[in-house]
Structure 1
Amino acid sequence: MVRPDSSQFAGDTTTRDGGTDALRRCVGDVSNFVDRHWGRAPFHRAAADGAGFGDLLSIEDVDTLITSRALRIPQFRLLQDGVQIEAARYTKRPDPISKKENSDQAHPGHIFELFDAGATIVLQTLQDYWPPLTRFCRSLEFALTHPVQANAYITPRSAQGLAVHTDDHDVFVLQSFGRKNWKVYGQPRSSDEGGDPGESLIDVELKPGDMLYIPRGFAHSARTADVPSAHITIGIRAYQWRIVFEKALTEILDTLREPLPVGFADDPAELAAQAVQQLGDLKRRLDSIDIDSLSAAVTRHFWARRSPVLTGQLRQLIDLDDISDGSTLRRRPQSVCNLRLEEDRLLALLGDRELTMPARLEPALRRVIDGEPFQVSELAEYLDGPGRLVFAQRLVREGLLENAG
């Protein structure tokens, strides 16, 4: 697993927008977390958030999502005593008049009945459809430069959603409502290992505003006591060192398709001698790997998969023609912009899209992404009148800027 050093959280304005604040909200001292806990050891932080993470997801928000958003599987599921409840028990039946199938759509009444009987409601991939968590997760991604996702678990009193288990990714548990007892056990193990997990490293009751960090592979379980609970699980799908090298190693191994010599099984010593020669060739190929190119490809892979957060974009497009020299623009919150100079051109990675422009426009682009609102007329030192209007409108259209007026 890649272990970032604290310098990665310096807040490069070409790529990040306040991400460190989101991470600090969870872990407090970022450097201490990175050095002592990231990928290594569980960590409980009491009263991490004075607002109890309620702005990210409250009980009222959960009610709204279930009753008003027409959720469909796999956006949600229900669990009880470590077992997933059959979806047919809490999804809508075929419409008796239109005969349309609704077998994957949430049935609020059935969901609440099962919750009242002890089932845990799980809302999945909330970063895709709940704006507060869309923004929060994007900010965490900027700080960590690892993909994250958000699930929520709403558990009634005296109940357990999942039995002792491990995850194949790191998690932040953010307690937003009620209380829940958590146990985190011993050394990391694979998800298919069973049996006694051993002594617990952490045995704690989370209260609203508490945070619990669990690295990949550490077994854990949770159960409510006399009050219900709602918590958000931020799953961190951390990039691992193998992705840096796997493409290059695959290409090298693909060169070893020559068959073994006839009769190889009769002479192990001769096979070993030839294997030594092959190993020497492998070492020479490994030494010739272009590490800079591999690193650039991995970082580009990350930024290219951060889709723009386009809340309010329809109004921005409708008002696009109204942009003038007197218009005040600003960088859109949680927008991605990673700049790369390639000879005489400037490449701007904007998440799932990219722009190519003359390298001479780098100062202008850096000016508009530094986080401070600006008037279009301030770009006069870089572009003439028509040019700066086209430049500004294009960046609004691409979701990097927005009209602050």
Structure 2
Amino acid sequence: MTAGSGGARTALRRCVPIPADDFAERHWDRAPLLSRRVDDYTDLLDLDDVDELLSRRGLRTPFVRMAQRGKVIAAARYTGGGGPGAEIGDQVHDERVFELLNGGATLVLQGLHRLWPPLIDLAGGLGRELAVPVQINAYLTPPGNQGFATHYDTHAVFVLQVAGTKRWRVHPPVVIDPVERQPWGGRADEVAAVAADPPVLDAVLGPGDALYLPRGWLHAASALDDWSLHLTLGLRAPTRLSVVEALLDLAADEPALRAGLPMGTELGDDGSSIAPVLADTVKALHSWLDTLSPDTVAAHWSRSTASAARPAPMRPVAQAAALARLSVDDRVRLRPGLRARIVTTERVAIEVPDRTVTMPAVCAAAVRELLDGRVHRVGDLPGLDDADRLVLVRRLISETILTLDA
């Protein structure tokens, strides 16, 4: 965990009040943590903001979902045509949402980390501190109602209570550390059986309270006597299985592991025909694994997972307009959240998730500074004259690797 333990109102500090090192050692991927009066979350999203999103922002599915008494409501019941000039058929209809809310349904606003500015910033900050992709949903439940039955998630979550109160009942896992291919629906009977036992945590969250749940922990939540609004921050952290999957991708480059099976091999028999093949394959796998370096695996993993978390939003109109009048007095920085690394050979190669950008070797010193994450004045870049500095920076802004510092 890369977050420091100090600094008020860092993204992690808004979710847990204890030092980051303590949280990492005692709770991360291990045990729930209930925290009282951590922060006021109404600056992130409040009830008026929910109305703004529903009534004036033209939301479409899948940014909205509704559920009641443990069942998801068909989107056709609260969406429809967008009207003249909007050639879409799944825009949220606020009057239909009103009817369902009035009848006790829970509203879920999904993907707010891509939609609502304060939550875009929170997700970006928390993602950089924890080095994980972060998604954010909001849940609005009318008084006395429950949207979803007891279930578990295959990723850890922070729950931030914004308004109202909600009772949370938490039970231990039926699957330890489940991954996405192990959703709770495939174990519904086991989940229901464990949910019938007394919970290990039965607590009411009020405004400003926060709850951390590791993946796999069963939970159900119900609103009490007022409208409850909470945010769920999903932490899509990699696992050891992620490393295995990266190794599997790399294994395709090893001829001994691509070799075909002997003609007539029966994979569905009692195992006798594949036993020697299995022995040879395990031997080849061990030999190949011994040749791998951590750097090779890390580089592949970085390339294959970088697209899971988008870099910080940029202002395309402002960037394009400013690019035309770029001067040596302008200040630029690496686009926050963008994974970029330098490979220096005869030319300077900058690797980003979806491409490689090459520059003359004379740019090496300037590129190293530009990719260090700090803000730099164009005219101060080393190793180049002003004309070449402007050419370099224009190119990297055009490639959306750099952004102009406001």
Question: TM-score of the superposition, structure 2-length normalised?
Answer: 0.83
Picking from 309, 313, 319, the partner of 2:312 is 309
Residue 341 (structure 1) shift:
2.5
Q: Per-residue displacement from partner, 1:183-234 (whole Å, max 9, x unpaired)?
A: 1111342512222223322222112222211111111000011111111111
Residue 292 (structure 1) shift:
2.5
Query: Could you tell me which residue of structure 1 aligns to residue 55 of structure 2?
Result: 67
Query: Could you tell me which residue of structure 1 aligns to residue 259 of structure 2?
Result: 255
Q: Does 1:223 align with 2:222?
A: yes
| Whole-angstrom distance in 1 between the partners of 2:86 and 2:314 | 32
Name which of structure 1's ranges 230-239 and 359-368 shifts more when overlaid on structure 2: 359-368
How many residue pairs are counted as aligned between the two chains?
384
Q: Does 1:106 align with 2:92?
A: yes
Q: Per-residue displacement from partner, 1:84-103 (whole Å, max 9, x unpaired)?
A: 122222123586xx698754
Q: Does 1:40 align with 2:30?
A: yes
Structure 2: where are the runs of 5+ without partners? 176-181
Equivalences for 1:330-369 in 2 at 5 Å? 330-331=332-333, 334-350=336-352, 352=354, 354-358=356-360, 360-369=362-371
Query: Could you tell me which residue of structure 1 aligns to residue 390 of structure 2?
Result: 389
Name which of structure 1's ranges 394-403 and 190-199 shifts more when overlaid on structure 2: 394-403
Greater length-normalized contact order (CA 8 Å, ≥ 6 residues apart): 1
Secondary structure at 1:196 match in 2: helix
Q: Does 1:22 align with 2:11?
A: yes
| Whole-angstrom distance in 1 between the partners of 2:79 and 2:344 | 52
Query: Could you tell me which residue of structure 1 aligns to residue 179 of structure 2?
Result: none
Secondary structure at 2:232 match in 1: strand
Shift in alpha-carbon separation, 1:289–1:396, aligned structure 2, 3 A: closer
Amino acid at match of 2:261: R
| Whole-angstrom distance in 2 between the partners of 1:205 and 1:22 | 23
| Whole-angstrom distance in 2 between the partners of 1:299 and 1:205 | 40
Query: Could you tell me which residue of structure 2 aligns to residue 323 of structure 1?
Result: 326
Query: Could you tell me which residue of structure 2 aligns to residue 236 of structure 1?
Result: 235
Tell whether the 8 Å contact from 1:135 to 1:334 is kept in structure 2 after alignment.
no
Secondary structure at 1:301 match in 2: helix
Tell whether the 8 Å contact from 2:344 to 2:364 is kept in structure 1 after alignment.
no
| Whole-angstrom distance in 2 between the partners of 1:404 and 1:29 | 31
Residue 38 (structure 1) shift:
1.7
Structure 1: where are the runs of 5+ without partners? 1-5, 12-17
Shift in alpha-carbon separation, 1:400–1:91, aligned structure 2, 3 A: same
Name which of structure 1's ranges 352-361 and 34-43 shifts more when overlaid on structure 2: 352-361
Tell whether the 8 Å contact from 1:346 to 1:357 is kept in structure 2 after alignment.
yes
Residue 300 (structure 1) shift:
2.6
| Whole-angstrom distance in 2 between the partners of 1:365 and 1:94 | 47
Tell whether the 8 Å contact from 1:308 to 1:350 is kept in structure 2 after alignment.
no
Secondary structure at 2:91 match in 1: coil
| Whole-angstrom distance in 2 between the partners of 1:43 and 1:284 | 43
Residue 304 (structure 1) shift:
4.4
Q: Does 1:286 align with 2:289?
A: yes
Residue 296 (structure 1) shift:
1.3
Query: Could you tell me which residue of structure 1 aligns to residue 75 of structure 2?
Result: 87
